[in-house]
Amino acid sequence: MKKIIYLLLFPLVSFGQAQLDSIDYFFKKKQFEKAEMELTAYLKKQPKNLKAIELLGDAFGHQEKWDEAIENYKQLVEANPKSADYHYKYGGAMGMKALTVSKLTALGMIGDIESEFLKAAELDTKHINVRWALVEYYMKLPGILGGSKNMALKYAYQLEQLSRVDGYLAKGYIYECDEEPELAEKYYKLAINHGGSLWCYDKLTTFYEKQKQPEKALANLEVAKEKHKRNALHYEMGKIAAEYNIELQKGVQCLQTYLKNYSPEDGVPKAWAHYRLSQIYAHKRNKEAALKYIDLALAESPKTKSFKQEKIKILKL
């Protein structure tokens, strides 16, 4: 249900320019604690500023402080009950909290979560994110508690009217959850053919991995790499080669390319690329090379459990 809440930034119209710049900077740098501190201080002076309340809720959400986020979004809903975004964020924060509490407590939250999502969908017939949330909600919830494939498909069809790509992806997700892999693959491919974004390729790759079809996942990543020219895709290809012991030489080449062209924006630290190289060389029974790369990984991140376990395995070769 991680897609349930998309925390959005909006212009801080009533903030001073210096405050706007600092909050925007903190969010872009993912320094949410600092954003929280600045917004909290601002709200002591301007306690009814809805934009500041919303952004503080977003800052809490990014830190998984769901109780605090819920309280902020509740204030927004009470102040403006006709805002679809406010209902969406309020329901989303409750949905995320429901994942962290006991089943009995979560059970008592289900009605409120659904109510907020449905209200948001009613208020804004073009709200894509809340329709995604409803698709996930009805597929994740057991049937005895109100889960429904038909209801999920209803909102997937609505998504398709708003964005064909989102509709195809939603249907792919529904059929994947319903254990109908042929239909899931069909709709994920339709999303790629119609939209072709990196997100579309990622959904199909992840699906193939879950289906234990690494060759298809690797082939899909190869096409994505040629189209999008993203260095991060080199790592993903190397990871699959390492995890499934396939196309090992291609995996080595991809990981070396990733390391050569690495920048922090690629997302995955270099240590993990070294770890994947150590796995590949272990598959090749090349103990010396495997040790070289796992030592590089440990030098960068000595406390990572996976790295320490891998070195133990390599030493037993």
259 and 218 within one domain? no
What share of the chain in percent tops pLDDT 90? 84
Count the Cβ atoms, other than its own, within 10 Å of residue 226: 9
112 and 1 within one domain? yes
204 and 257 within one domain? no
Question: 248 and 283 in contact (C-beta within 8 Å)?
Answer: yes
95 and 151 within one domain? no
Question: 191 and 214 in contact (C-beta within 8 Å)?
Answer: no
Answer with the one of 102, 124, 146 that is the final residue of a domain.
124
252-267 pLDDT tens trace: 999 999 999 999 989 9
317 and 264 within one domain? yes
> Would you say residue 5 has pLDDT above 60?
no
Domain that holds residue 306: 232-317
- What is d(CA 20, CA 43) in angstroms, rounded to the nearest whole number? 14
Which residue did the predictor score with more confidence, 204 or 18? 204
Domain total of the chain: 3
51 and 104 within one domain? yes
DSSP collapsed to 3 states, 247-272: CHHHHHHHHHHHHHCCCHHHCCCHHH
- What is d(CA 278, CA 270) in angstroms, rounded to the nearest whole number? 13
- What is d(CA 39, CA 270) in angstroms, rounded to the nearest whole number? 35
At 10 the pLDDT is 41
Count the Cβ atoms, other than its own, within 10 Å of residue 160: 17
How confident is residue 171, by pLDDT bands cut at 50, 70 and 90?
very high
* Phi and psi, residue 187, nearest 5°: -75, -35
* Phi and psi, residue 135, nearest 5°: -60, -50
39-85 pLDDT tens trace: 999 899 889 999 999 999 999 999 999 999 999 999 999 999 999 99
4 and 112 within one domain? yes
255 and 223 within one domain? no
104 and 19 within one domain? yes
45 and 130 within one domain? no
- What is d(CA 265, CA 252) in angstroms, rounded to the nearest whole number? 21
- Return the half-sphere exposure (C-beta side, CA atoms, 13 A cut-off) of residue 236: 24
- What is d(CA 306, CA 188) in angstroms, rounded to the nearest whole number? 32
DSSP H or E run through 83: none
**Mean pLDDT of the residues in the chain:** 92
CA distances from 264 to 190, 256, 259, 261 (A): 32, 16, 11, 10
- What is d(CA 163, CA 305) in angstroms, rounded to the nearest whole number? 42
209 and 194 within one domain? yes
Measured in whole angstroms, how far is the alpha carbon of residue 307 from the centre of its chain? 24
Answer with the one of 207, 229, 251 that is the final residue of a domain.
229
What share of the chain in percent tops pLDDT 70? 93
At 11 the pLDDT is 40
Residues 231-236, mean pLDDT to the nearest whole number: 97
CATH label of the domain that carries residue 149: 1.25.40.10
273 and 207 within one domain? no
Quote the tokens at residue 145: 């508690």
Report the SS3 class of residue 228.
helix
Answer with the one of 105, 124, 143 that is the final residue of a domain.
124
DSSP collapsed to 3 states, 89-139: HHHHHHHHHHCCCCHHHHHHHHHHHHHHHHHHHHHCCCCHHHHHHHHHHHH
At 103 the pLDDT is 86
- What is d(CA 189, CA 171) in angstroms, rounded to the nearest whole number? 11
Rounded to two decimals, the pTM is 0.84
Question: 91 and 117 in contact (C-beta within 8 Å)?
Answer: yes
